[in-house]
Amino acid sequence: MKIKNRLIGYVLYIAFLTAIGLVGCEESRIYTINAPSDLQARIDSIADAKEGIDTGDTTYIDITTAVVGNDDYSSGWWTAFSDYFTVPTNKLLHLEFINHNGGSPNAWNNWNLAVANEVADREGDGYAEYFVLRSDAFGWGNEDFDLDIISNNYPDTDGDGDIWNDFRLTMDGAFVSIDVDHSATGNVFVTATAIGTNGTELVMTYQQPVSASDDITAFLIADASYFEIERAYLIPSKVTVVEDVNAVSIDVTGTPLAVELGNEDFWGDGVATVTFADGSSSIVDTADVSFNVIPDMTTLGEKTVSVAYSKTKLGDYGPAVSTFYTLEVTNSVIAMEVTALPEMTTYAFFGSESPSFDPKGMVVTATYSDGSTGILDNSILEFEIPLVDGDQDAVISYVGATSTVTTTCPLTIIEGTSQIGAIDFTTAWWTEFSDDYTVASGSSKVLTMYCYSNEVNNWHSPCTILRKADATEYGVVRMDSFGWGDGYGTATITNDWNFDTFTSNINGSKVVITVTNNGDNTADINYDVTYATGETHFQKYEGVTVDSSDLNCAIVLEGSYVVITE
């Protein structure tokens, strides 16, 4: 099982349980809540049911950190944690606590659960996460993480069409129990149940592969929230068998769009993803894929390839599913030239890692061995960007059956002074920061940077933190007209974005962020953004409440990286 190091931040869907039961708990109930008259009775009934079945194998865990997070809701992300809870294989960890969000307007300011490998120290070598699960039915994790299989029953109790305002109200002061079931089948099953002081019951579930033999570690994380942990214990796993299901569809990606005559590899870097009857998806071994229609690669023209898969989720043979794709068999490419430049022709770098070439908008025209010409799909080309400041040429290569053909594309290369975030866009939220910059009363701090983004979400762009020298936050403001914090509530917000195209234009944008300390205990933040296309936009936050005698700013991001140039 591969797990990415320090991942705090998109793919297998695990099968349903076949063994579900109540679990043992011998301790007397310890909760009293000022709430509707039947709420305590409902919580007590849960405890009674657990106490009614004694497994004879309940191990209670001493709680060292009984309160997780500051009770003034000042704990930032990844700063306040519960104890580490080790969950051996074939054991279920049960946690009970009271959740507090202080009436936050953000759904994520509640409990968060991390499930990691057996290396307990978050700062230790070899530490890696399987996933982080947020209480608002969101999360991230390694390659097995599948956001689509988080299920919940979160209701719209007031009928206004927004479940999250009801969720936030229910979660403040809610009694929460979380089961982390480490099955010997090599999966972990999480069930979180919250009973609000308003009597609403919220249930969320998630499941994912983990090591079947090694211990796993679970811990809670506060985020402008805090929890009062009351009880933790281990009991035997509830899951001994995972139900098998048939495949229902297959999808193919990465296959070549065109190959030269004489090259018989019609699969190339193809990847087959199978979806099963339980809704889960898995990339399957190419050796298990069969080709019902094999194309004639000895003649020119468009070819059709039929692909089939005939195994169940657990690897037994079952009903086959199939799909098809097409490719073009062409003559050999003997020359090519760039006949339309890409949108992005300026790249910034820092260090020895080269940014990824973005061919959007570029047209490369090939000349074939028979004298004909045609446009090459950019996906079959290779690109190399020189890491030398100034006007340079990117090298574009086409690897053919017998030879490699190259051409060039003019670029402007800028060497930056620092970089925030990983070049492969794996940086998770609140894990990498710029330096802190002091903004003296009556002055401004200007940061110029180039932003590179996976363009999955509009918040995969730089965010600005306003805080004191001791890291106490006034607020955080994003490039996409959103923010939070006590100081943020006084801001006047303006922008000229077209949010229909915002996300698709982040990559390669030049971003100038100006933080102004007005000297009257307010600050302004201005984003001046120039897309790679040359189109310009702005985002302003005016009047954020700060202490003008103690103002610093810093940049944080996720799913992106920036190269600061000034």
Q: How far apart are CA 515 and CA 436, in angstroms?
A: 12
Q: What's the sign of the alpha-carbon dihedral 371, 372, 375, 380?
A: negative
- Which of 43-57, 91-105, 412-426 is predicted with the least confidence, judged by mean pLDDT? 43-57
Q: How far apart are CA 302 and CA 424, in angstroms?
A: 34
The pLDDT, as a whole number, for residue 26 is 31
DSSP 52-82: TS--S--EE---S--EES-TTS-PPTTS-B-
Quick one: tokens of 232? 């933790």
Closest residue by Cα to residue 260 from 141, 380, 121: 380
Q: Which has the higher per-residue pLDDT, 292 or 325?
A: 325
Length of the chain: 566
- The CATH 2.60.120 portion of the chain extends over 39-236, 419-564
The values of phi and psi at residue 261, to 5°, are -55, 130
The pLDDT, as a whole number, for residue 13 is 31
Average pLDDT over residues 375-389: 93
Using one digit for the tens of pLDDT, what is the confidence trace for 77-107? 889 999 999 999 999 999 999 999 999 888 9
pLDDT level of residue 38 (50, 70, 90 thresholds) = low
Is 419-564 CATH 2.60.120?
Answer: yes
pLDDT level of residue 60 (50, 70, 90 thresholds) = very high
The pLDDT, as a whole number, for residue 42 is 53
The pLDDT, as a whole number, for residue 293 is 84
Closest residue by Cα to residue 204 from 132, 134, 152, 257: 152
Q: How far apart are CA 9 and CA 142, in angstroms?
A: 8
The pLDDT, as a whole number, for residue 32 is 37
pLDDT of 241 above 90: no
Give me the amino acid identity at 437: Y
Closest residue by Cα to residue 183 from 209, 204, 205, 206: 209
Q: How far apart are CA 199 and CA 37, in angstroms?
A: 9
Q: How far apart are CA 553 and CA 439, in angstroms?
A: 7
pLDDT of 233 above 80: yes
Average pLDDT over residues 241-249: 87
* 333-415 fold: Immunoglobulin-like (2.60.40)
* 39-236 fold: Jelly Rolls (2.60.120)
Using one digit for the tens of pLDDT, what is the confidence trace for 463-476? 999 999 998 999 99
Q: How far apart are CA 347 and CA 382, in angstroms?
A: 17
Q: What is the mean pLDDT of the chain?
A: 89
Any idea of the CA torsion for 316, 322, 328, 333, to the nearest 10 degrees? Answer: -20
Closest residue by Cα to residue 33 from 22, 50, 20, 46: 46
3-class SS at 318? strand
Average pLDDT over residues 350-367: 94
The pLDDT, as a whole number, for residue 43 is 53
Max Cα distance, the chain (Å): 86
- Who contacts 15 (Cβ-Cβ below 8 Å, separation ≥6)? 187, 242, 243, 244, 245, 278, 280, 313
Quick one: tokens of 171? 């979660």
DSSP 245-295: --EEEEEEES--SEEETT---SSTT-EEEEEETTS-EEEE-GGGEEEEE--
**Beta partners for 24?**
none
On the CB side of 420, how many CA atoms lie within 13 Å of its CA? 27
pLDDT level of residue 187 (50, 70, 90 thresholds) = very high
- Which of 23-37, 395-409, 438-452, 516-530 is predicted with the least confidence, judged by mean pLDDT? 23-37
Q: Report the share of the chain in percent with pLDDT over 70.
A: 90
The pLDDT, as a whole number, for residue 431 is 86
- Which of 256-270, 339-353, 385-399, 533-547 is predicted with the least confidence, judged by mean pLDDT? 256-270
The pLDDT, as a whole number, for residue 6 is 34
pLDDT level of residue 281 (50, 70, 90 thresholds) = confident
Q: Report the share of the chain in percent with pLDDT over 90.
A: 76
Quick one: tokens of 371? 């004298």
Q: What is the three-state SS of 348-386?
A: EECCCCCCCCCCCCCEEEEEECCCCEEEECHHHCEEECC
The pLDDT, as a whole number, for residue 314 is 83
The pLDDT, as a whole number, for residue 159 is 85
Quick one: tokens of 293? 């229609």
Q: How far apart are CA 184 and CA 34, in angstroms?
A: 40
pLDDT of 287 above 60: yes
Q: Which has the higher per-residue pLDDT, 213 or 158?
A: 213
pLDDT of 24 above 70: no
Burial degree of 332 (CB within 10 A; 0-12, 13-18, 19+): middle
Q: What's the sign of the alpha-carbon dihedral 279, 283, 284, 286?
A: positive
Q: How far apart are CA 140 and CA 120, in angstroms?
A: 19
Place of tokens 């099968």: 15
Give me the amino acid identity at 402: T
* 247-330 fold: Immunoglobulin-like (2.60.40)
The values of phi and psi at residue 504, to 5°, are -75, -5
Q: How far apart are CA 40 and CA 431, in angstroms?
A: 39
Q: What's the sign of the alpha-carbon dihedral 38, 40, 41, 47?
A: positive
The pLDDT, as a whole number, for residue 39 is 56
The pLDDT, as a whole number, for residue 566 is 87
pLDDT of 20 above 60: no
Helix (H), strand (E) at residue 39: helix 39-51
